[in-house]
Amino acid sequence: MSTHTEAGHHGPAKGISRWILTTNHKDIGTMYLVFSLIMLFIGGSMAFVIRAELFQPGLQLVMPEFFNQMTTMHGLIMVFGAVMPAFVGLANWQVPLMIGAPDMALPRLNNLSFWILPFAFSMLLATLLMPGGAPDFGWTFYAPLSTTYAPPSVTFFIFAIHMMGISSILGAINIIVTIFNMRAPGMKMMDLPLFVWTWLITAFLLIAVMPVLAAVVTMMLMDVHFGTSFFNAAGGGDPVLFQHVFWFFAHPEVYIMVLPAFGIVSQIVPTFARKPLFGYHSMVYATASIAILSFIVWAHHMFTVGMPLVGELFFMYSTMLIAVPTGVKVFNWVSTMFRGSMTFETPMLFAIAFIVLFTIGGLSGLMLAIAPADFQYHDTYFVVAHFHYVLVPGAVFGIIAGVYYWLPKWCGKMYDEKLGQWHFWLSFIGVNLTFFPMHFVGLAGMPRRIPDYALQFADFNMLTSLGAFLFGTTQLLFVYILIKTVRKGKPAPQLPWDGAKGLEWTVPTPAPYHTFATPPVFGDK
């Protein structure tokens, strides 16, 4: 695989400087993916601390303050450090290949947007060693808890968030410019593979909402250091304003973390069903509809703040409306599989699990959308169960499916299918054992973010913790599979998936731009 980088005028860079200076989209995609894998294990180890504490009632291992620091850091690292960089890594690898471009449009910007991340997360993790400890106000960092009562490390947390946001905006600009300006000659927008479409829409979402996150943490910074009262009621501010601004960012953010997974599943299902994707155009429109609707539902996270009845009704109905385009996508995936010549290699197993389990997460989301019911569910483990069903079997399974699917393309070698199947089944059992019991303890009234709980929740919590340990340790098998594939995997055939006849159908017209096409050479253009 050609991976050349210009370092001054001295030819290709060698060793470590190759990775630091590289402008090659494949190198940068690989670095994003490796970084997100490291972050997955750091965030996962924090989840292990949380689940070890909750294994039994009573206080076992850690002080409540440290427990709160772990819940905060786990959420922030998984969202900004594991899921988002992984999707950007997949985009870096696949988008140029899928549209026949020689590289990303802005290669140096691409390099910069990656290298900002290690510094941002080093700063965030360093807060664990600072006086007063890491942020302990939850990953949603609600004011005034995060402004008036926060540890001194809150300033470093704010700067770390700013850096992550800058990285995301730069990456999104790059993807948009690449897709609009560097498609192969004759390739229309409605010829784009669905992974490219979902990333294009995701990139617009990122550019729209990241400045909102920057605004809210800047207002926090002013409240902490400069005597303003944006969120301080004593100075005429409003704590609920924080929630409005935060969720106006964070609800579209949820879709930023799952739309690229929709794209991956839309590539995988036609391949292993060996027939064209059902309803390509409706998939594109459904994705765009989800993105647009995600901007008008933010306050469904805030039903308990005392908003007017008309507000509750608006946010309730608009939230339910998002179920329509999502239902269209699920219907199309199932219709694609219907009467196909299906085989069940590892990527397809993860894709099917994604469809089934993400739907469960969507249905519990509909329950939470019902305002009067949400008064009961709010801040219980039912909410934790809901969003983990959306983000773990949703985003994380989507990423893993994409890695297995494209790995032969990336390194020219096949992974061990038997080990891949083991990885899938252990992950599937672990995920459901972890998050399904949370629905029951949540409905029974167990509050989230509390290190202790009443005796009647003990059995389900023990099950949940065992499931979490199983799921987390299984990912070590994933790392082993990846290393084994790269080091000594069997050479992959030209069409790795059984000469999968359906591959030319990853775009609606049988044009030669499918996933495994060789990009055209552009010469000096």
Catalytic residue among 147, 153, 167, 318: 167
Q: Indicate if 255 belongs to the active site.
A: yes
- Among candidate residues 115, 139, 142, 422, the one labeled active-site is 139
Considering the candidates 253, 312, 345, 374, report the single residue annotated as catalytic.
Answer: 253
Is 326 labeled as catalytic in the residue annotation? yes
Annotated catalytic residue within 36, 113, 271, 326: 326
Active site residue 168: yes
Contact 81, 46 (CB under 8 A): no
The residue annotated as part of the active site, out of 329, 386, 423, 514, is 329
- Catalytic residue status for 74: yes
Beta bridge partners of 487: none
Active-site pick, 251, 275, 388, 514 = 251
User: 490: which strand partners?
Assistant: 414
Catalytic residue among 23, 127, 266, 271: 266
Catalytic residue among 255, 389, 410, 415: 255
Residue of 162, 301, 386, 514 with catalytic role: 301
State the DSSP string of 95-125.
HHHHHT-SS-S-HHHHHHHHHHHHHHHHHHH
What tokens does 470 get? 């199983």
User: Is-cis flag, bond preceding 144, omega within 30?
Assistant: yes
Strand partners, 380: 447
Query: H helices of 77-193, where?
Result: 84-99, 107-126, 154-181
DSSP run (H or E) holding 491: strand 490-491
Helix (H) or strand (E) holding 414: strand 413-414
Q: Is 318 a catalytic residue?
A: no
Question: Token digits for 125?
Answer: 């993790």
139 annotated active-site: yes
Helix pair 107-126, 154-181: axis angle to 10 deg: 160
Q: How far apart are CA 478 and CA 485, in angstroms?
A: 11
- What is d(CA 202, CA 262) in angstroms, rounded to the nearest whole number? 11
Catalytic site includes residue 167: yes
Handedness of CA 235, 240, 246, 249 (dihedral sign): negative
The single residue of 71, 168, 294, 434 carrying the catalytic annotation is 168
Using CA of residue 304, residue 306, residue 309, residue 314, what is the dihedral sign? negative
459 catalytically annotated: no
Active-site positions read: 74, 103, 139, 167-168, 251, 253, 255, 266, 300-301, 326, 329, 448
